[in-house]
Structure 1
Amino acid sequence: MIEYLPRSKQHTELHLTQFGIEECIPSHFFGPAIRSHFLLHYILEGEGFFEVDGNRYRLQKGQGFLIYPDVVTYYQADSMNPWSYCWFGFEGTIAELLLKQAGLTRECPILNYNEDDKIYTYLKLMAESKGNHKAREIRLTGLLYLLLSLLAEYGPVMPTEQKESRAEIYVDKVKELVETNFAQKMTIEDIARIVGLNRSYLCSLFKQQMNTSIQEYLIRMRIHKACEMMENVELSIGDISRSVGYNDPLLFSKMFKKIKGTSPKHYRSENR
């Protein structure tokens, strides 16, 4: 069973390109060849080997291997106990980042998962989603996210050399929260709780990565958005103030002058 899917115009961050399952005959092989997307194989039964970048990995049930785009690979089923596997092809702007969170990289392409049969369950749900004509793409993308979250949950602890990228992940989460919720009454404690880190540690991490505090970043984001809104002449200064999270116009003017060096009214007249 195999199904190929068209490239998604809606889910550019992450989407399936194909999925399937195969019971291989003895010594069945593929390659050496490259793929144009990520391809994750998970072994359901049997054994075989996978070759990439000069390394050969002997694999069996409960393991899997990740193929990187545009990387030459070769894999072959065992001659006596050939494997059967399921696979998931996918791509997107955050695909590599999510794989790293699961401990899967080009340098570490081997998956180990013996917790349960959820990986195969997700494949079956993908196949059964054919009945969802209107919302199938959403369903498939959701299942792919569930699959990768499962691998991240039970994946290995990230190596020391990847700690910096882990810090960047948390900082990016803070930036996304601020950029999408700048108009809300959101405290640093709220942000730390959502991100899942201690407040002091998160503030220290953000300061180290961004060379500014979370509070300062939030203020500057609000003022930046306020400046954009001033191009709309139908919005009053009060409207803009409330729209960027300041119900008190005086506080808004104070923060605006601190960042821009002038009052909102004067800034608008000068830049009209």
Structure 2
Amino acid sequence: MIEYLSRSKQHTELYLTQFGIEECIPSHFFGPAIRSHFLLHYILDGEGIFEVDGNKYRLQKGQGFLICPAVITYYQADSKSPWSYCWFGFDGTLAELLLKQAGLTRVCPILNCGKDDMIYKYLKLMAESNGNHKTRESRLIGLLYLLLSLLAEYGPVTPIEQQESRAEIYVEKVKEIVETTFAQKITIEDIARIIGLNRSYLCSLFKQQMNTSIQDYLIRIRVQKACEMMGNVELTIGDISRSVGYNDPLLFSKIFKKIKGVSPKHYRAETH
């Protein structure tokens, strides 16, 4: 059983490209070849080999292997006890980070989970969602998140990787909050409270990762959104100002000019 899926236009952060299950014949192989997305195989029974970057791994039931995009790999079922496996193909801006939380990277591509009952359950739920046309895409992505969270729960993560992953997650949360609440009177204290971290610690993390402060990032997002609104002739500068979180048009104009070098009025005249 295999199903291929069209690329999601709405969910760019994480989406499925395919999933399936196969009982391989003895010595069945694939490659050497590359893939355009992440592909995670989980062995339900039997054994085989997986080769990547000059390394050869002999794997069996309860283990799995990750294929990263644009990386040459080769895998082959055992001649006497060929494996059967299920697989999940996926991609998106968060895919690499979520895999890293589970300890899975190009350098560490082997999965040791032993949760084949749950992994197979998610595969079945994906297949059974076929009749839910209106909600299927969201349901599949939800199941993929559950699968990756399961792997993160049981996968080994070194303290260094864990620290790096947490920092990246916090930064992504800040960016997500800013980009969804920029029109409101959101403060750094509000953002820290939503995430559940100390304000100073969060600001330090963000500065290290992004080389800018949260406040400056918020301002630049607001100005960026304002620029996007300039093309709508029905909106006055005051309308745009309020739409990006500034009730005072004069303050908005001052901040806009500091970032763009010209006033909002002149920017609109020059670009639209």
Q: TM-score, normalised by structure 2?
A: 0.81
CA-based RMSD: 3.1
Q: Is the 8 A contact 1:171 1:206 kept in 2?
A: yes
CA-to-partner distance for each residue in 1:149-206, whole Å, 9 max, x for gaps?
3223333225637855653443233223212210123232332244453322110112
* 1:260 aligns to 2:257 (yes or no): yes
- C-alpha deviation, 1:119, in angstroms: 1.0
Going from structure 1 to structure 2, the CA distance change for 1:8 and 1:199 (only over 3 Å counts) comes to same
For residues 137 and 65 of structure 2, the distance between their equivalents in structure 1, rounded to whole angstroms, comes to 25
Q: Is the 8 A contact 1:43 1:85 kept in 2?
A: yes
The AA in structure 2 aligned to 1:108 is C
Q: Is the 8 A contact 1:101 1:158 kept in 2?
A: no
Q: 1:73 matched to which residue of 2?
A: 73
Going from structure 1 to structure 2, the CA distance change for 1:184 and 1:85 (only over 3 Å counts) comes to same
Q: 2:129 matched to which residue of 1?
A: 129
CA-to-partner distance for each residue in 1:128-158, whole Å, 9 max, x for gaps?
1122233333322322222223223333225
For residues 246 and 251 of structure 2, the distance between their equivalents in structure 1, rounded to whole angstroms, comes to 11
Structure 2: runs of 5 or more not aligned: none
Q: Is the 8 A contact 1:219 1:255 kept in 2?
A: no
Q: 1:185 matched to which residue of 2?
A: 185
- C-alpha deviation, 1:9, in angstroms: 4.2
* 1:203 aligns to 2:189 (yes or no): no
- DSSP 3-state at the match of 2:69: coil
* 1:244 aligns to 2:221 (yes or no): no
CA-to-partner distance for each residue in 1:19-50, whole Å, 9 max, x for gaps?
2222334x433133214232211112233322
Q: TM-score, normalised by structure 1?
A: 0.81
Q: 2:30 matched to which residue of 1?
A: 31
Size of the alignment, in residue pairs? 266
- DSSP 3-state at the match of 1:239: helix
The AA in structure 1 aligned to 2:254 is K
Percent of paired sites with the same residue = 76
* 1:151 aligns to 2:141 (yes or no): no
CA-to-partner distance for each residue in 1:200-250, whole Å, 9 max, x for gaps?
211011223334321232234334434554554533444333212234x2x
| TM alignment of 1:86-105, pairs within 5 A | 86-105=86-105
Q: Is the 8 A contact 2:192 2:199 kept in 1?
A: yes
